Chain A
């Protein structure tokens, strides 16, 4: 027993833990700065957002400690139970949850709320790792693909039904994990291709676009004719691409809500609305941009503090960092996330257990999705999609679920030397 404890402390990845606590700390002081007011200037004041965040940090630390001390096999063995539990929670929240900002995704308990969709990402990661770590599993099998997709799709659809499009979008990121486990590269390329066509067809008249596609296909075919590529392949590609372009219009008009369309159109510069939809993004860019190289200094951000930026302590917390700590601070955050994600990939690759490796990739991918969408939104590269920045944004569900997600992997990694 004693040896095992020492083993954990020796093998645990302290770098990851350090990055975690640095990010959490930056988040906490940014929340303090964002909602600071003279009346409640004590950072430990429990009536305030930063006071509450301190409680969340405390609880999260306890969760982390708990995960570290228990048997690492616990989570691999109970993966499906966790998964099932949160599917039930997602169903329950649809039935009896409370609504915030148009999304019905909360269980309210007094002042505090719990958002099952945040945890569902972690439990889905567990279940996906579990199913893909089976002995007979091969990503090339159709059966494997279907079961993996099902595992991801069920919670994703439930989250979508809660009207929480942002969180649902994150589930797409599991495709990176599937790719690492053997999914064909063409699926990834196909996905990226569809995304590019989606954006193009919003910018260009669909008929013109189809014309361009036809021209490109024809030219490519003529250029590469000598390589004996089948004409059928080109015709097929062209047909699929055209199909995508045409269906985009339909999907765009019918499947997306008007505010989502507005956000996309603003991003693509097709709509000018400085006081409306554009407002968030503009104010966010002004806040970050006005930070300059070194920033305005702690508690000196005027844009974020005077409520110019909406949601400046939750989804737009990066603005506070950008405004008060400048380019230096922003790059530090980006660098920390990048370091964390790359470290997680490295850690995943050193696992002997297939479950741990897959789970590690899930953790890295989920963090990547949140990082990309959230920061991309605040700097005006992506449409406004309301999902939190891991470890920094205010919110108990968010912080606890990311802690849960990360520390399960840290625990697996710490016992990687154990016999599987």
Chain B
């Protein structure tokens, strides 16, 4: 018994030996017979170089370059490979002293001794020339080229946006991005990130002991090519944009201009603005902090993010809705009863057209009353809830109270109150027309952003429809432009064209007829249709104006906001808008004196009005 069990040791020894032999055979194949592994048997280190694709360029509507790439170089270091370094020479070439050198090396070592980290970032082509000549002398250092964005005309910062290094959160969410990569942080750069950026590639190269590249690893078998980003062909008119920025240079506010027939944005200014080149390269960090802390909030895109009360401009929309609902006719007249709501002195309006032209507050009080106090066909009673919900629907159709899906990030939606909102505010049904009548003249709870106002101007210009305002017409490259098909659909207000004609006539009167509120917007041989507004707030009121021109076959629809500029829409916003219209339609402004006046004018109440700015940005 004992002996038989003892012989079992041979089974165990057999198992041990079998495994040993299998492993030796495997090793023989792996190490001796198989050459593919042996190809790696060289003393050269492999270097993984990310191939950054060129980011797409951005052009204006006439083919002018708005954003381009400039090649810069990052000097990378692999601490492990640094040998026999002539520190003094390197410091001299890079332009740093010994202490900075030590600090950077320490930082690199801390990150990894094997993996490359950047030693000096964004060296310009010119400066890099002298470094490149001597680079072979610095073992463990190599250059990685990348591109930076530059803005040759220094305009349209809020439209174009800027790029910056990705943050940790993005890296976690999207594995495409690695530490140190660049990503669009705002504007079109952010919205069109995936189109602009292309796809990164990687190249593995062999380097010899002298840090010279010896060619690609395994004939590039493991390399992946990068795919260049696509260009954007935007609808911005560079000349108009420049002109609009010139007009707004010493003001706060915004100008948005749209081509009504296509929804293409022609110029888009939020003032104060800044030179987008400030947020490029090594100067970015400091400049960004300065802009961020500036009391006038230059980083805040007013045209998209500032919600203002619409003011009198809203009256045009009220008239259209009331006509469409049939609660008034074009010939309806209301007296100017100042006991209802305050007004300026003017003759009583006997038609809708006159009411728009004279911007009569009591008239639109009555109009809104008829809209809201409608008889609910289900109950047969006057029902403010019913009226308000019908009104809401009409407002939404005009692009108010909902986000216009413009191709820029972070747009606000404005605010159109609904029954739920009022029931919450008044804790039940205790609200009715008399508590909400301020909406009729664009005060009260309603809020709109300048883009929605420009869009409304486009709706009137089109007599009842709009295409969502947008910035990009085509993408791709010069030879293969692909149309941006997202913005072709017409959104119809479903309000009869004949009513819109009344709005057009009224707005024509505003500019061109005695008693109109925007006579300063008149251009001699161009028929401008406009509407002034005053947005009340803390501090001086905002001066607001929307217009389109020419009256027939309109080419441009504009909204202009001048913040805290006392004097109403007709005083500041209207003439500025007319200058923009003239510049675009005529390509040149003949009214040199007017131009001079409004370029020089600085009507905005001086800051700080922090309270208001913060309120609007946090709404």
Chain A residues proximal to chain B, CB less than 8 Å:
37-39, 176, 179-182, 185, 285-286, 288-293, 296, 300, 302-303, 305-307, 322, 326-327, 330-331, 334-335, 337-338, 341-342, 345, 348-349, 361, 364-365, 368, 371-372, 375-376, 379, 381
Q: Is the CB of A306 within 8 A of B114?
A: yes
Complex Cα distance, B44 from A111, in Å, reads 35
- On whether A289 and B30 interact (CB within 8 A), knowing A38-B80, A338-B20, A364-B12, the answer reads yes
Residues of A within 8 A of B344 (CB): none
25 inter-chain pairs at a CB distance below 8 angstroms, sorted by A residue, are A37-B80, A37-B113, A38-B80, A38-B83, A179-B8, A180-B8, A181-B5, A185-B11, A285-B37, A290-B38, A292-B32, A302-B42, A306-B80, A306-B114, A307-B115, A327-B31, A334-B27, A335-B20, A337-B20, A338-B17, A342-B16, A364-B12, A368-B19, A379-B26, A381-B22
B49 CB to nearest chain A CB (Å): 15
Q: Is the CB of B45 within 8 A of A330?
A: no
B222 CB to nearest chain A CB (Å): 9
Residues of B within 8 A of A381 (CB): 22-23, 26
Residues of B within 8 A of A368 (CB): 15-16, 19
Contact of A300 among B19, B27, B43 (CB under 8 A): B43
Per the 8 Å Cβ criterion, residues 9-55 of B in contact with A are 9, 11-13, 15-17, 19-20, 22-24, 26-28, 30-32, 34, 36-46
Residues of A within 8 A of B39 (CB): 290
Complex Cα distance, B17 from A286, in Å, reads 26
The verdict on B479 contacting chain A, using a C-beta distance below 8 Å, is no
Q: Is the CB of B43 within 8 A of A302?
A: yes
Complex Cα distance, B5 from A181, in Å, reads 7
Chain B residues proximal to chain A, CB less than 8 Å:
5-6, 8-9, 11-13, 15-17, 19-20, 22-24, 26-28, 30-32, 34, 36-46, 80, 83, 109, 113-115
Residues of B within 8 A of A348 (CB): 9
Residues of B within 8 A of A322 (CB): 27, 30-31
A20 CB to nearest chain B CB (Å): 17
Residues of B within 8 A of A338 (CB): 16-17, 20
- On whether A291 and B31 interact (CB within 8 A), knowing A286-B40, A302-B44, A372-B19, the answer reads yes
Q: Which residue of B lies closest to A331 (CB)?
A: B24
Given contact pairs A293-B32, A338-B16, A341-B16, a sample of 20 additional A-B residue pairs in the complex whose CB atoms are under 8 Å apart: A38-B80, A38-B83, A179-B11, A285-B37, A289-B37, A290-B38, A291-B41, A302-B42, A306-B80, A306-B114, A307-B115, A322-B30, A334-B20, A334-B27, A342-B17, A345-B13, A364-B12, A375-B23, A379-B26, A381-B26
The list of the 3 closest CB pairs from A to B, nearest first, reads A289-B37, A290-B40, A327-B31
Complex Cα distance, B23 from A327, in Å, reads 11
B176 CB to nearest chain A CB (Å): 13
Residues of A within 8 A of B15 (CB): 176, 368
Residues of A within 8 A of B37 (CB): 285-286, 288-290
Residues of B within 8 A of A335 (CB): 20
Q: Which residue of B lies closest to A349 (CB)?
A: B9
Residues of A within 8 A of B113 (CB): 37, 39
A244 CB to nearest chain B CB (Å): 22
Complex Cα distance, B209 from A300, in Å, reads 12
Complex Cα distance, B1 from A182, in Å, reads 9
Complex Cα distance, B26 from A293, in Å, reads 13
Q: Is the CB of B11 within 8 A of A290?
A: no
Complex Cα distance, B31 from A376, in Å, reads 15
A266 CB to nearest chain B CB (Å): 17
Residues of B within 8 A of A326 (CB): 31
Q: Which residue of B lies closest to A365 (CB)?
A: B12
A218 CB to nearest chain B CB (Å): 30
Q: Is the CB of B28 within 8 A of A327?
A: yes
Q: Is the CB of B32 within 8 A of A327?
A: yes
Residues of B within 8 A of A179 (CB): 8, 11-12
Complex Cα distance, B280 from A143, in Å, reads 79
- On whether A292 and B38 interact (CB within 8 A), knowing A37-B80, A302-B43, the answer reads yes
Q: Which residue of A lies closest to B6 (CB)?
A: A349
A316 CB to nearest chain B CB (Å): 14
Q: Is the CB of B30 within 8 A of A285?
A: yes
Q: Which residue of B lies closest to A177 (CB)?
A: B12
Complex Cα distance, B26 from A345, in Å, reads 25
Complex Cα distance, B116 from A292, in Å, reads 28
Complex Cα distance, B302 from A204, in Å, reads 65
Q: Is the CB of A290 within 8 A of B41?
A: yes
Q: Is the CB of B8 within 8 A of A288?
A: no
Q: Is the CB of A327 within 8 A of B20?
A: no
Complex Cα distance, B42 from A307, in Å, reads 16
A178 CB to nearest chain B CB (Å): 11
Q: Is the CB of A302 within 8 A of B46?
A: yes
Residues of A within 8 A of B24 (CB): 331, 334
B33 CB to nearest chain A CB (Å): 10
A278 CB to nearest chain B CB (Å): 14
Q: Is the CB of B23 within 8 A of A376?
A: yes
A36 CB to nearest chain B CB (Å): 9
Complex Cα distance, B209 from A28, in Å, reads 27
A31 CB to nearest chain B CB (Å): 16
B156 CB to nearest chain A CB (Å): 40
- On whether A306 and B43 interact (CB within 8 A), knowing A176-B12, A179-B8, the answer reads no
Q: Is the CB of A330 within 8 A of B31?
A: yes
| Residue picked from B19, B27, B38, B114, most chain A C-beta under 10 Å | B27
B36 CB to nearest chain A CB (Å): 7
- On whether A292 and B5 interact (CB within 8 A), knowing A37-B113, A307-B114, A345-B12, the answer reads no
Contact of B43 among A180, A291, A296 (CB under 8 A): A296
Q: Is the CB of A289 within 8 A of B36?
A: yes
Residues of A within 8 A of B12 (CB): 176, 179-180, 345, 361, 364-365
Complex Cα distance, B15 from A286, in Å, reads 28
B610 CB to nearest chain A CB (Å): 49
Residues of B within 8 A of A181 (CB): 5
Residues of A within 8 A of B30 (CB): 285, 288-289, 322, 379
Contact of A302 among B13, B26, B45, B115 (CB under 8 A): B45
Q: Which residue of B lies closest to A338 (CB)?
A: B20
Contact of A292 among B19, B31, B44 (CB under 8 A): B31
Residues of A within 8 A of B17 (CB): 338, 342
Q: Is the CB of B27 within 8 A of A296?
A: no
Complex Cα distance, B31 from A303, in Å, reads 14
B85 CB to nearest chain A CB (Å): 11
Q: Which residue of A lies closest to B113 (CB)?
A: A37
Q: Is the CB of A39 within 8 A of B23?
A: no
B110 CB to nearest chain A CB (Å): 11
B461 CB to nearest chain A CB (Å): 55
Complex Cα distance, B80 from A157, in Å, reads 44
Q: Which residue of A lies closest to B40 (CB)?
A: A290
Q: Is the CB of A288 within 8 A of B27?
A: yes
Residues of A within 8 A of B109 (CB): 39
| Residue picked from B8, B13, B30, B39, most chain A C-beta under 10 Å | B30
Q: Which residue of A lies closest to B17 (CB)?
A: A338
B7 CB to nearest chain A CB (Å): 10
| Residue picked from B16, B31, B43, B45, most chain A C-beta under 10 Å | B31
B114 CB to nearest chain A CB (Å): 5
A227 CB to nearest chain B CB (Å): 24
B299 CB to nearest chain A CB (Å): 39
Complex Cα distance, B178 from A38, in Å, reads 28
Residues of A within 8 A of B5 (CB): 180-182
| Residue picked from A288, A289, A365, most chain B C-beta under 10 Å | A289
A351 CB to nearest chain B CB (Å): 11
Residues of B within 8 A of A306 (CB): 45-46, 80, 114
Complex Cα distance, B25 from A330, in Å, reads 11
Complex Cα distance, B5 from A419, in Å, reads 23
Complex Cα distance, B12 from A348, in Å, reads 12
A404 CB to nearest chain B CB (Å): 22
Residues of A within 8 A of B114 (CB): 305-307
Q: Which residue of B lies closest to A296 (CB)?
A: B41
